[in-house]
Structure formats: C-alpha cells, structure tokens
Amino acid sequence: MSLPSVLALKCVDVSKSYPVQKDLKAWRVLLGAPVRGESIRALDGISMEVPRGKILGVLGKNGAGKSTLLRVLGGVYEPTSGYVESYGQVAGLFELGGMGNPNLTGLEYATRYLRLTGAETHELGRLLEDILEFSELGDAFGQRIRTYSSGMRARLYFATATVLQHEIYLIDELLSVGDEHFQAKCWRRMRQRLLSGASGVLVTHDWAAILRLCEQTSLIDRGRFVFSGASDRAVVRYLDLKPIDLSVAEFSPENTGRYVARAGQDTEFVFQVNLLEDAPVDFSISIEVLRVGIGWEIVLLSDARAVGDVAGKYAVRVNVPQLPLVAGSYSVNVFLSSRKATPLEPSVAYDARTWTAGNGYSLVVEGSGSTAAVRLPFSVGDTRRGS
C-alpha cells in the first residue's frame, strides 16, 4: 500500500476506558472476558491528524489524559473505540526501558533494543558506540541498570531510542529529564531528527517546549480536546493570560491579521491604529520565525516610532526595501506603548499583537526556499585588479 503524502499519523474518534471493579476476578482478566461494573473514561472522542514533517503538540495538566493518548497512538493500549493509523516507523519516547529489565547491563539493553527495532547486524558496533558517547555513561555502560541513578537511566534510554532516525516520534515529557547539560543535548538531537523530515506528537505540561517544537497544539482536559489551533493561542489559553486593558490606544479590528509578501521585493505593511485619548503613543514591530527545536527567533526588529499625540485614527506604514526574508511562515508582532522621555525610562504597554499573547498577525513570504534565516543583498568585487 502506498503511503499518504501528507499524513504521518491520525486517530479518529478514539476513546479509552478503564474498568473499576472492587471484586474483579483474575480469571476474567486472564481469559479476556468483559469486565462488568463502573469504568473511568481516560480519553473521550479524540481525533487528530499529524502532517508529515510536523510535530503536533498536546498540552495539558497532570491527569488530563496526555500519557494515555500517547500510549494509544503508540499501540501500547488498545482504544476502547475509534482507531489509529500510522504511516511510517514509530519510535515511542515514553516508558523507556520497559522492554528490558534492571538486571540487564546498559550494553545488553541497548543491543536488545536495536535488534528489536531492526538495526542491521553490521551497524550494531557503530550504533552502540554512538549510544555510549551520547549517554556519557563510561564504564557504567557495562554495569547492570539496577545500579544506575534515575539520571543515568534517562541518558541510556534516550540515547538508545534516538540513535536511529525514525519517521514518527511519540514524545512524553522526555526533554525535561536530566540535568541542564543533558537536556541541551536532547534538544539538539531531536532538532536534528525533526529537521531530517520526522513527524510526531509531543505531549507535555511544559508550554515552553510546545513553543519550541510545535506550530499546532491541542489542549486536553479530562480526556477531551478543548482547543486545537496555533500553539501560541493554545499556550495563552493554557496559562489563562489576561488581555491588556485597551484604554489609551489599540490596533483597529480593521487589520486583516494576515499579510502576504514576496521575498526580495519592496514590501509595505499597513496597520490601522486607534488612539482613544490624547497621549503620545509609539509603535514598534518585530518579525519572528519558529525554528524547530530552538523556538521563536527575531529576524527583523524596528525602533519605536511615534504614531501621534491626539486621539483619532492613524495608518502606520512600515516599508521594507527588498524584503530579506526567505520563503516561509512568520509571526508579525506589533506594539503600541507610551513614549519614553529618556532611553532608561520604562514604557507602558497599551496594546500588542504578538504570539506571546496568542493574537499575533501572520506573514507568508512567497519565493524560493533557503536554509538561511534572511537573504541580504550584497555584491562581490575583485580587488586584485584595483578600482
């Protein structure tokens, strides 16, 4: 069967229930007989699609159903209803170590894992050396896992699960384990894997991790998705951030919130602004891009410029000659604030449209792609011949 070109993973109307029965008979479990009595529904009507080459975030508090969902996606649990389809090799970065036992040495565990995941025999030596180097276990690699600290286990399990490039990753809070040094190594490795075209799902309560890896995120609460959309908006809802009090100035609802431009061409952005009372108001703008595994990066940033001092409607025009951005999707962040009397004086925010507030404007740049962040015009002259 040919693989779909646009999807890596999907689940349709998935629910998962667990029986609760005080007088549960062991024979019913062993024989697979239906369990009578009450049940707890951990997942309720979950549907999701993971585009190929993307990481979908699932954000929720402890007990919301995140881990159950990931294990259903990974085939560890059978759904009570609904179904899951995956279109590629799946690596589950959860319950790591579950396929072994603590009496195995680190070397034995890694070897068993690699053989079970289909690693070629002639590649084992190289892969085991990579696991040893990444995990930094040294001589402990040949010792039994039961003698490891929790941090040593985390290094072994992560290094083993990610040594091979997989098509789909299912990640459960894994990037928050270990010390700061090891977390940085985890992020670098996952970024390499994802930039190589991998897809996956990240379930976590760490909203910062969501913003670093995911463009789209669903909020899960009591086993149901209560929101699905852009990650910045999901995080704002998750954190329950309060909006700015719009009493002095605001960006007009007339703004479309979506801009389209072409790389390398002169570009003008127009923003409608309402000054609600007489006050000196400044405007500033930044354009940011999401780098997988890193987070949001500023690629263009302006100084603050005066909008006006008298209440009324204004049109703010931002001209960018030969737009240096490469093709892709960006967040346009615009700010209205009080005017500073001195550079050190703090400004007061009047209004903002930014991904950190979940209401940023979007920019789509059309044109040829590039591995660079920006493409600056420059020329090269041969100085050997003189001017």
> Domain 249-366 belongs to what topology?
Immunoglobulin-like (2.60.40)
Residue in 375, 353, 213 with CA at minimum distance from that of residue 296 = 213
pLDDT at site 97? 53
Strand-pairing partners, residue 57, are: 202, 217
Amino acid type, 303: D
Residue intervals in the chain for CATH 2.60.40.3930: 249-366
**C-beta separation of 282 from 307 below 8 A:** yes
Q: Which two tokens stand for residue 220?
A: 């899960």
Contact residues for 357 (Cβ-Cβ < 8 A; gap 6+): 232, 236, 241, 243, 244
pLDDT values of the chain reduced to their tens digit, one per residue, 387 residues: 444 568 999 999 999 988 766 555 666 656 666 656 677 889 999 999 999 888 899 999 888 999 899 889 988 889 999 999 988 888 877 655 555 678 889 999 999 888 888 888 899 999 999 999 999 999 999 999 999 988 888 888 888 888 988 889 888 865 665 677 787 888 788 878 877 888 889 998 888 888 888 889 999 999 999 999 988 889 888 988 777 778 899 999 999 889 999 998 999 999 999 999 999 999 999 999 887 767 788 999 999 999 999 999 999 999 999 999 999 889 999 999 998 877 777 888 899 998 777 788 999 999 876 767 777 777 777 766 655
Q: Which two tokens stand for residue 377?
A: 């015009």
Q: Which two tokens stand for residue 233?
A: 């908006």
- Phi/psi for 180 (5° steps) reads -60, -40
Strand-pairing partners, residue 38, are: 20
* Eight-class DSSP state of 131: H
Contact residues for 169 (Cβ-Cβ < 8 A; gap 6+): 55, 90, 91, 93, 190, 193, 194, 198, 199, 200, 201
Q: Which two tokens stand for residue 239?
A: 């954190």
| SS3 assignment, position 371 | coil
The yes/no answer on whether domain 7-20+38-239 falls in CATH 3.40.50.300 is: yes
* Eight-class DSSP state of 41: E
Residue in 171, 149, 163, 43 with CA at minimum distance from that of residue 96 = 171
pLDDT at site 1? 42
Separation CA 78–CA 155 (nearest Å): 29
Query: What is the Cα Rg of the chain in Å?
Result: 26
First to last CA, the chain: 64
Strand-pairing partners, residue 62, are: none
Place of tokens 């585009």: 51
**C-beta separation of 15 from 46 below 8 A:** yes
| SS3 assignment, position 231 | helix
Contact residues for 333 (Cβ-Cβ < 8 A; gap 6+): 285, 286, 287, 288, 352, 353, 354, 355, 356, 360, 361
pLDDT at site 174? 59
Contact residues for 320 (Cβ-Cβ < 8 A; gap 6+): 266, 267, 268, 269, 300
Residue intervals in the chain for CATH 3.40.50.300: 7-20+38-239
Question: Reduced to 3 DSSP states, what percent helix, strand and coil does the chain have, rounded to the nearest 5?
Answer: 25, 35, 40
| SS3 assignment, position 203 | strand
